[in-house]
Amino acid sequence: MSIIIVNYNTTQLVIDCVNSIYDNTKNINFEIIVVDNNSPDRSIENIKSIFPEIKLILSEKNAGFGAGNNLGNKHAIGKYLFLLNSDTLLLDNAVYEFFKFMQKTPNAGVCGGNLLTKELNPNFSFARFKPNFWLSISELFFNIYPRIRYKNELFYSLEKNIVKINGFICGADYFVTKSIFDKVNGFDEDFFMYFEEVELSYRIENLGYKFYILPHVKIIHFDGGSQNINSKNKKKWIIDSKKMYYKKTNNKFYTITNFIDSITTFRIKLKEKILNN
């Protein structure tokens, strides 16, 4: 079992995350691989003085989140990969729960848990649908249909039982079979940040594998640990990565979907401007 954590200027978060892994993980052998994406802050190089057993991989460049995980995978020896954000904290024996589920579910390609905010409120954990024309139409109208159908469980599950989803699992806690990850050649490194797990999920689904949420597994996700969550870079990366996703998945409605998304983005920006005035 290999746990991969990509770091970019988040040394203290990585330390806290690793401590949460050791505090909560039982009944399974695992390795922890920390990949540093050429952080300007070099304090990560001292982490082995705290955790001498981890594998620390120092990348010579920052090619993005997906590339960092791909590099970690090259050094991984586990049957499964747990791609875990540096700004997360395990609250229970998540690693073993995911492992146990995947072992008994042959058609499972990826699984994840419920993510929480630091206040322990529901956080974005998964999406019921992958981005597409109809979803963009729905977003234009405030996701009325999905919200009616799934109520408060559009991105977080209140179920007690395991849930199979048709969308994708958040890349903050992406538990995937290594052989499948290798078969699809890992993340597409054209994506610097955002939508890389969506595109990866698209390719894994095309192999016939399913995606599952284990609602009883709880993980805190602080979100945006390596950058300002409201930064202009983040907004631009999201928009550009979404466009790239549409192109790479041969979305037949790419042009009109992109236009609809532009309207939705404009509406959000207008709302933010009004609220800030």
Which tens digit of pLDDT belongs to each residue from 265-276? Answer: 665 566 556 656
What pLDDT does 93 receive? Answer: 98
Q: How confident is the model at residue 132 (pLDDT cuts 50, 70, 90)?
A: low
Over pLDDT 70: what percentage of the chain? 78
Which tens digit of pLDDT belongs to each residue from 220-267? Answer: 999 765 554 445 567 777 778 888 888 888 766 666 666 666 666 665
User: Of 12, 251, 255, which Cα lies nearest the Cα of 132?
Assistant: 251
Q: Which residue has the higher pLDDT, 190 or 259?
A: 190
What pLDDT does 129 receive? Answer: 80
Over pLDDT 90: what percentage of the chain? 68
Give the number of other CB atoms < 10 A from CB of residue 266: 10
Average pLDDT over residues 146-161: 75
**Integer Cα distance of 7 and 272 in angstroms:** 30
Average pLDDT over residues 36-62: 96
What lies within 8 Å, CB to CB, of 75 at 6+ separation is: 33, 55, 57
Q: With a cut of 70, say whether residue 80 has pLDDT above it.
A: yes
Q: Which residue has the higher pLDDT, 177 or 151?
A: 177
What pLDDT does 234 receive? Answer: 73
What pLDDT does 145 receive? Answer: 54
For the chain, where are the alpha helices, taking DSSP H only?
11-24, 65-74, 94-103, 133-140, 144-150, 178-183, 196-206, 232-248, 254-276
What pLDDT does 77 receive? Answer: 97
> Domain 2-128+155-224, CATH 3.90.550.10 — does that match?
yes
What pLDDT does 229 receive? Answer: 46
Domain assignments of the chain as residue spans, ordered by start: 2-128+155-224
Burial 97-119 (b: 16+ CB within 10 A, else e): bbbebbeeeeebbbbbbbbbeee
